[in-house]
Amino acid sequence: MWPSWRGLPVTMEHPVPDFHPKQAESPVSARRLSFDLRRKSLDFCAADQPRARVELLKDIFPKLRTLAILANTDHPGEQSEWQTTQRATQALGADPAYVPFFGARELDKALERASKVRADAILVFPDAVTMVHRAKLAEFAISQRLPSMFGWSEYCDAGGLLSYGANQRATYVWLATYADRILVSLRGWLRRGVGAAREVWRSFLKNRVLFVGLPLPCSSNHLRFAARADKQMALEALDRRVQELAREQNADYVVYKEFESTDAGNMGLLEERGYLRGTLPVLHKLTGRFRNFGEYLGAIKARYRNQITRSQKKFAAAGLRAVHVTDGQEIRRRFTPEVHELYAAVHARSTTKLEFLPLEFFREVSDALPEHVAVMFVEDMTAGGRVVGFTLAMRANGTHYNVYSARQWSWSICAHSACLQTEII
């Protein structure tokens, strides 16, 4: 027969990690069901939690005679937990029925053995495997009509009856706080150490990377095989030349960016040569929920809208105009040597430098990747339309990826909103 509290899950959580010395006497919190613990003197040391689980189970189910104990022997602390639980069970006049298993593959067989021991209740040691299969364990206890005791409240959320142990969420928060403090200290120490090393060895921890393709993702392939080409032969010839370039440029790494999705699965030759396959996540993703810039302004908070409006007025008062160009011939015409000088000035001032690209790259990139290149030119209309800034972006499926930007250093007008409202050519 089930006790009168059947179906009411009980979780008792220690609100901080078990091993935190300053919190060793924190009070127990009981959720959904309260019961008398005045006869118990429970502390929260990790070694005492198994004993407390058995004692709590005995209090709620006094007729406990045989306790099935399900334990994953692959867990590092399993033996210590089993020995404590065994002593606690025997001290209360009950028999522990030890049901060990090794990893998730043996769990089903362990449950089958547990069903044959004629236990009065079941106790499951908390670990990663039982946590993943907590719903299965709860269903097993219900099907066998066994009161169940677990280590964490997540087991009760999945259908278990009782749990007693550390609050996992609070534990992770506590650990993250101390990990952050440690990392902050390490960052300062490493920064000083690297700085000192670079005074002697300027290239210390600096790596040169040879990109085969653009250094940023553009949601499209940069490398493509011809329809009738021998792909393996072409790939072998390409990598041979790339390795020669890497040696000439003293490159530490080679990165291929990026192949068509249908070709990416046939890169066995590169993998045999030590290359690693990988994908790059999207750095920023904005959902286009607005039909126009005015609708966007109407949806944001007033203080942000006012900031953008002030920027637009300053932009217009300075006689500046933003022009969005997608036509390859128009990009070539507008990208003059003077515009390239803006890029050269930014590159010279940059702390982290990519390869310096010649004027021909910016003029020919739209021919190499047709329909995927857009350039926003910022023109000074008070100076006859002279270009004072630009941003080159790769675009695919309505998404823009800004790759290169430059501006005239003497230009101090705030123009961050110009890219949102431009004249399209």
How far apart CA 157 and CA 159 sit, in angstroms, is 6
Cβ distance 321 to 384 under 8 Å?
A: no
What pLDDT score was predicted for residue 377? 94
Q: Are 325 and 373 in contact (CB under 8 A)?
A: no
Other beta carbons within 10 angstroms of residue 351's beta carbon come to 4
Kindly report which listed range (41-50, 277-286, 332-341) carries the lowest average pLDDT score.
Answer: 41-50
> Does the pLDDT value for residue 25 go beyond 50?
no
The strand pair at 209-212 and 253-256 is best described as parallel
Q: Specify the pLDDT at position 107.
A: 93
Distance CA 242, CA 254 (A): 8
Local confidence band at 72 (pLDDT 50, 70, 90 cut-offs) = very high
pLDDT number for residue 61: 87
- 59: pLDDT confidence band, cut at 50, 70 and 90? confident
pTM of the model: 0.40
- In the structure, what pLDDT confidence band is assigned to residue 15 with cuts at 50, 70 and 90? very low
Res 410: pLDDT: 61
Nearest residue to 411 (alpha-carbon basis) of 350, 347, 359, 342: 342
Q: What is the pLDDT of residues 206-219, one digit of tens each?
A: 788 888 876 555 55
Please, what are the domains in the chain? 10-166 (3.40.50.2300), 207-281 (no CATH), 293-424 (3.40.630.30)
Average pLDDT, the chain: 77
- pLDDT score, position 220: 57
- Supply the pLDDT for residue 181: 74
Residue 422: pLDDT band with limits 50, 70, 90 = very low
| 338 pLDDT higher than 90 | yes
Q: Per residue in 107-130, pLDDT tens?
A: 999 999 999 999 999 999 998 889
Lowest mean pLDDT among 60-64, 129-133, 167-171, 310-314: 167-171
- Find the helix packing angle between 107-114 and 134-143, rounded to 10°: 20
Rounded mean pLDDT, 46-74:
87
Q: Which residues contact 155 (CB under 8 A, 6 or more apart)?
A: 124, 126, 130, 131, 134, 137, 138, 148, 163
Q: What pLDDT shows up at residue 215? A: 56
With a CB cutoff of 8 Å and minimum separation 6, the contacts of 305 are 297, 298
| pLDDT given for residue 290 in this prediction | 80
Q: What is the pLDDT of residue 270?
A: 86
pLDDT on residue 287: 67
Query: What is the model's pLDDT at position 157?
Result: 87
Residue 28 banded pLDDT, cuts 50, 70, 90: very low
Residue range 49-68: mean pLDDT, rounded: 89
What is the C-alpha to C-alpha distance for residues 117 and 335, in angstroms, rounded to an integer?
Answer: 82
Residue 336's pLDDT band, with cuts at 50, 70 and 90, is very high
Q: What is the mean pLDDT of residues 140-169?
A: 87
pLDDT digits (tens, 9 = 90+) for 230-246: 888 888 898 999 999 98
Q: What is the pLDDT of residues 177-205, one digit of tens each?
A: 777 777 777 777 777 877 787 777 777 77
For the segment 328-342, the average pLDDT, to the nearest whole number, is 93
Q: Is the pLDDT of residue 41 over 50?
A: no
Sign of CA dihedral 315, 317, 318, 323: positive
According to the model, what pLDDT value does residue 371 have?
80
According to the model, what pLDDT value does residue 82 have?
Answer: 92
